[in-house]
A and B are shown apart, each in its own frame.
Chain A
Amino acid sequence: SAVISQKPSRDICQRGTSLTIQCQVDSQVTMMFWYRQQPGQSLTLIATANQGSEATYESGFVIDKFPISRPNLTFSTLTVSNMSPEDSSIYLCSVEIGIAEAFFGQGTRLTVV
């Protein structure tokens, strides 16, 4: 298993500003992902955070809006840039260990006003 610490747990931000979310894992992992979850909705994959190279983004998500860093095998950040109310959501960090078993952080609840 893995213990994932995600910070901040929640934030209220002004539109036009940016927020950086941190994800720290207690062990080295190869696969790390960022998801977005609208309240009461399913998870949508934003990108795969690759160590040592640029993140791989899913359709509808771009690096300028959601820059991701992955400096080592235990840490990643997701920035939500130039925020608008439509970005209000829960952002989740996830890692995969073993045979495709995913573990999730507690999530960051973002409200943009």
Chain B
Amino acid sequence: AQSVAQPEDQVNVAEGNPLTVKCTYSVSGNPYLFWYVQYPNRGLQFLLKYITGDNLVKGSYGFEAEFNKSQTSFHLKKPSALVSDSALYFCAVRDLDMRFGAGTRLTVKP
């Protein structure tokens, strides 16, 4: 069965600095990988996905993620963080169904 791990419960960065939210995965076949963001009292919003093709995937709000097959990782990145990026971020892997990581709370401080 597929699984995904987010090793960091919390990530703190200063506004304007680059941010990385880590994700590693385990799946038997080719992975379908996703990042979602959840703002307080809101449902999940899709950010980006990797199905096939270029390892660097660009998504919403200036976010991107890099698929690394050898390291089984799919880290979320943004070159310059905004205070409004503060939210809960979930990595997910799709095989027979969607499995989510535990989530990483990103806090961007002014």
Contact = CB atoms under 8 A, between A and B. Distances in A.
Contacts of B44: 43, 92, 102, 104
Counting chain B CB atoms within 10 Å of each CB, the highest count among A42, A99, A104, A107 belongs to A42
Interface residues of A, number: 22
What is the interface of chain A mostly: helix, strand, loop, or mixed?
strand
What is the interface of chain B mostly: helix, strand, loop, or mixed?
strand
Given A40-B88, A100-B32, A100-B51, A45 B46 contact: no
Interface in B35-91: 36, 41-46, 49, 51, 88, 90
B43 A100 contact: no
A41 B99 contact: no
B103 A48 contact: no
B55 to A, nearest CB: 17
Given A42-B103, A106-B43, A100 B49 contact: yes
B46 A101 contact: yes
B90 to A, nearest CB: 7
30 contacts: A4-B43, A6-B43, A33-B97, A40-B103, A40-B105, A41-B103, A42-B103, A43-B44, A43-B100, A45-B97, A45-B98, A45-B99, A48-B97, A96-B98, A100-B34, A100-B94, A100-B98, A101-B34, A101-B49, A102-B44, A102-B46, A103-B46, A104-B36, A104-B43, A104-B45, A105-B43, A106-B42, A106-B43, A107-B42, A107-B43
